[in-house]
């Protein structure tokens, strides 16, 4: 059983929903990222999305865009992110999902990427701008390496395409709760409830919901209708506000713990 599957099975047995957190690697610097990842696991994060900074994001809102630009200026690259994960894998056990756009992976080469990611201990990859119809050129290497390909479903995704996307997915399904970019407005709860219900008739994979979730109450509401929530911009914003301060790890951990408590 792969690490992501094992984690969701464990949560189901405990009657809990997953807290999936996102941070931008290298923001404010790689040393801080190296310290934050174990702290987030200790605070109750179940799955961590590690964002590879990219210069031309299409799905990220202003908070994550700014973090990516800052991380790029500090020299954060895909190879350095993989090295970071490799160095941490012996000390953290929770699943790590690499959140990236396709250009950095394409530049490295899919075979090299899959080999290095698997060796580093990456459990899944979420490539925002690689649609299911074109994912084969990456999955030909990542699937044999045991790396789950996390698929996105949006409110605007038609029924036939939802069926196609979820059939090919692995790990979990990421449902986007709003149209637009990350961190700009709260989730559409009733639409989310309806669409998550439809997705669940098409797959046995866990369904998590992200975009716009930032408070324990929102997490509780989403947790009542899905298998987990994704919180990204709120974590990145908090990191930016506390960058360089000794209370960063403590405050980030406390925030993560408050979200996780709402999901138990």
Q: What is the pLDDT tens value at each position of the chain, 264 positions in all? A: 999 999 999 999 999 999 999 999 999 999 999 999 999 999 999 999 999 999 987 767 899 999 999 999 999 999 999 999 999 999 999 999 999 999 999 999 999 999 999 999 999 999 999 988 899 999 999 999 999 999 999 998 888 999 999 999 999 999 998 764 444 456 678 899 999 999 999 999 999 999 889 999 999 999 999 999 999 999 999 999 999 899 999 999 999 999 999 999
pLDDT tens-digit map of 85-141? 999 999 999 999 999 999 999 999 999 999 999 999 999 999 999 988 899 999 999
**What pLDDT score was predicted for residue 183?**
45
Which residues have a catalytic role annotated? 49, 60
For 66, half-sphere exposure in the C-beta direction (CA atoms, 13 angstrom radius) is 10
Q: Could you tell me if 144 and 115 are in contact, meaning their C-beta atoms sit under 8 angstroms apart?
A: no
Q: Domain range spanning residue 135?
A: 3-261
What is the CATH classification number for the domain harbouring 233? 3.20.20.70
Could you tell me which residues are beta bridge partners of residue 207?
173
The whole-number pLDDT of residue 245 equals 92
Across the beta sheet with 151-153, what order do the strands follow? 148-149, 124-127, 96-100, 47-51, 18-24, 228-231, 207-210, 173-176, 151-153
Burial class from Cβ neighbours inside 10 Å (0-12, 13-18, 19+) for residue 58 reads: exposed
Q: Residue 236 contacts by C-beta under 8 Å, 6 or more apart in sequence?
A: 22, 23, 24, 27, 63, 64, 67, 183
Q: How many domains does the chain have?
A: 1
β-strands 173-176, 47-51 pairing: unpaired
Residue 79 vs residues 71, 75, 83, 247: alpha-carbon distances, Å: 14, 11, 6, 29
């Amino acid at each position: 059983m792969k690490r992501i599957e094992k984690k969701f099975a464990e949560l189901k047995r405990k009657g809990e929903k997953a807290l999936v957190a996102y941070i931008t690697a290298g923001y404010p610097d790689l040393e801080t990222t190296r310290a934050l990842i174990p702290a987030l696991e200790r605070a109750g994060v179940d799955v961590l999305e590690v964002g590879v900074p990219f210069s031309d994001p299409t799905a990220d809102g202003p908070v994550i865009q700014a973090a990516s630009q800052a991380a790029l200026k500090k020299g954060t690259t895909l190879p350095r992110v993989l090295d970071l994960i490799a160095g941490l894998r012996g000390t953290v056990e929770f699943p790590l999902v690499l959140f990236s756009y396709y250009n950095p992976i394409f530049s490295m080469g899919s075979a090299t990427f899959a080999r290095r990611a698997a060796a580093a201990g990456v459990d899944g990859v979420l490539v925002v701008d690689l649609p299911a119809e074109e994912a084969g050129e990456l999955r030909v290497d990542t699937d044999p390496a045991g790396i789950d390909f996390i698929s996105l479903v949006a409110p605007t995704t038609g029924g036939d395409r939802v069926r196609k996307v979820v059939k090919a997915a692995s790990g979990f399904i990421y449902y986007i709760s709003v149209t637009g970019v990350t961190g700009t407005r709260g989730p559409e709860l009733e639409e989310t409830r309806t669409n998550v219900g439809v997705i669940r008739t098409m797959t046995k994979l866990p369904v998590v919901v992200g975009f716009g979730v930032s408070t324990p109450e929102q997490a509780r509401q989403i947790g009542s209708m899905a298998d987990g929530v994704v919180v990204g911009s709120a974590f990145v914003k908090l990191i930016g506000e506390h960058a360089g301060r000794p209370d960063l790890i403590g405050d980030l951990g406390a925030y993560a713990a408050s979200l996780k408590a709402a999901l138990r």
